[in-house]
Amino acid sequence: MIQTNVHYSYLRTAKITFYVVLIVVALVTAVISAEHLHGILVVPFSLAVGTVIGGLVACVIAIWPVLRAIWWWLPEITFVLLLVGGWAYLQEQTSPIITGVIYASIIAPISLIPVLRRSTLALAWCVIVRHRLRACFISFLPTDRHGHLPFIGLAIPTPVGERVRVWLRPGLSADEIEKQLGKIAVACWAASVTVTKARKTNAASIYLDIKRREVLGGMVGSPLTEDLPTAEVPAITPPVAAVPAQLDLADVPDIDDTDTTERPAKKNGRSPAAGGTFAPTAPDNPDLDWV
């Protein structure tokens, strides 16, 4: 659950943080306590305060991988504690039969009522998808050299699936996640996955929308249909024009297109004038033979 390189990385960071906090807190404490304590007591008191505060900070950093694992499994841990703790409490207050009846009265409506069943299933998918995303970040999404994973926040149900807020670590961007959306969809058992920025001013905070269904593909009822008449309306058949089935050529009159009028002939390639005479041509001139 906790990688070895991640564990050693946090231990090294905790050690460095301890000494830094020790020195800073000791100096600040020495300056403040110099006016209230004797000079001999200032140094040991400052070192003691710095050691305590530095140790607390270092412990938090050292056990951060464990705290992060608890955060990943927090919904399951809470559910098990409520289930077992509630059963133990009811056993002390009532009989086992009454305890079983109470638990059955809680489970039966969830199983039988569609609205409660869908809501419970949506919450279950929110729990599952966080673990699937963690598996994606461990398997094929890039991390830093210490193997630090992004911080996966809570998942909330949406009409099409789930939405998870993720805080990216240095070395990982939304563009690199967009290249792996197909693999993420397969790992999350979803139809598709989209990534959007949660904040316009911070690229490290993103939303991963896991889509399992399309809400726009179903039939939507309209209140306008309630005003329509329910009685049967007779169908109105429009008249159909008669179309001739065949054409009788005997009914078509013959047209005489022969024209016996003689047309005047052309002379030298010129048409006759309007009066029937040919247009005058240029006089015979040897200088114009080349034209």
Structural domain span for residue 3:
1-68
167 phi/psi in degrees, rounded to 5: -110, 115
Is 209 a residue whose pLDDT tops 90?
yes
Residue 196 included in any domain:
yes
Residue 162 included in any domain:
yes
Q: Quick one: average pLDDT of 225-230?
A: 65
- 37-41, 110-114, 246-250 — which one is most confidently predicted on average? 110-114
Is 249 a residue whose pLDDT tops 70?
no
Q: Quick one: average pLDDT of 18-23?
A: 92
- In the structure, what pLDDT confidence band is assigned to residue 67 with cuts at 50, 70 and 90? confident
Which residue did the predictor score with more confidence, 16 or 288?
16
Which residue did the predictor score with more confidence, 4 or 178?
178
The total domain count for the chain is 2
Residue 240 included in any domain:
no
Distance, in Å, from the CA atom of 198 to the CA atom of 218, rounded to the nearest integer, reads 29
Nearest to 166 by CA among 174, 175, 176, 178: 174
- Can you give the pLDDT at residue 32? 85
Are 64 and 133 in the same domain? Answer: no
* Listed residues 184, 215, 246: the one ending a domain: 215
Residue 191 included in any domain:
yes
Q: Quick one: average pLDDT of 259-270?
A: 55
- Min mean pLDDT across 27-31, 69-73, 196-200, 218-222 is at 218-222
- Can you give the pLDDT at residue 266? 52
Distance, in Å, from the CA atom of 132 to the CA atom of 135, rounded to the nearest integer, reads 5
Task: Give strand pairing partners of 252.
Answer: none
81-93 pLDDT per residue, tens: 999 998 888 888 8
Residue 144 included in any domain:
yes
- Min mean pLDDT across 12-16, 65-69, 102-106, 194-198 is at 65-69
Backbone φ/ψ region at 199: left (φ over 0), alpha (ψ -120 to 50), beta = beta
Residue 208 included in any domain:
yes
Distance, in Å, from the CA atom of 6 to the CA atom of 132, rounded to the nearest integer, reads 20
- Min mean pLDDT across 46-55, 177-186, 230-239 is at 230-239
Q: What is the CATH number of the domain that holds 177?
A: 3.30.980.40
Distance, in Å, from the CA atom of 202 to the CA atom of 250, rounded to the nearest integer, reads 89
From the number of C-beta atoms within 10 Å of its C-beta (0-12, 13-18, 19+), residue 172 rates as buried
Distance, in Å, from the CA atom of 128 to the CA atom of 168, rounded to the nearest integer, reads 20
Residue 228 included in any domain:
no
97-129 pLDDT per residue, tens: 898 888 899 889 988 999 999 999 999 999 999
In three state form, how does the secondary structure of 226-266 look? HHCCCCCCCCCCCCCCCCCCCCCHHHCCCCCCCCCCCCCCC
Mean pLDDT across the chain: 80
- Can you give the pLDDT at residue 288? 47
Q: At what angle do helices 96-112 and 74-93 cross, to 10 degrees?
A: 140
- Min mean pLDDT across 48-52, 195-199, 243-247 is at 243-247
181-194 pLDDT per residue, tens: 999 999 999 999 99
* Listed residues 68, 91, 111: the one ending a domain: 68
* Location of structure tokens 């911070």: 202
Residue 145 in contact with residue 133, Cβ under 8 Å? Answer: no
Residue 30 in contact with residue 46, Cβ under 8 Å? Answer: yes
* Listed residues 215, 250, 279: the one ending a domain: 215
Distance, in Å, from the CA atom of 155 to the CA atom of 138, rounded to the nearest integer, reads 19
Which residue did the predictor score with more confidence, 149 or 282?
149
Are 61 and 136 in the same domain? Answer: no
Helix (H) or strand (E) holding 82: helix 74-93
Per DSSP, 141 falls in state: S
Residue 2 included in any domain:
yes
pTM of the model: 0.62
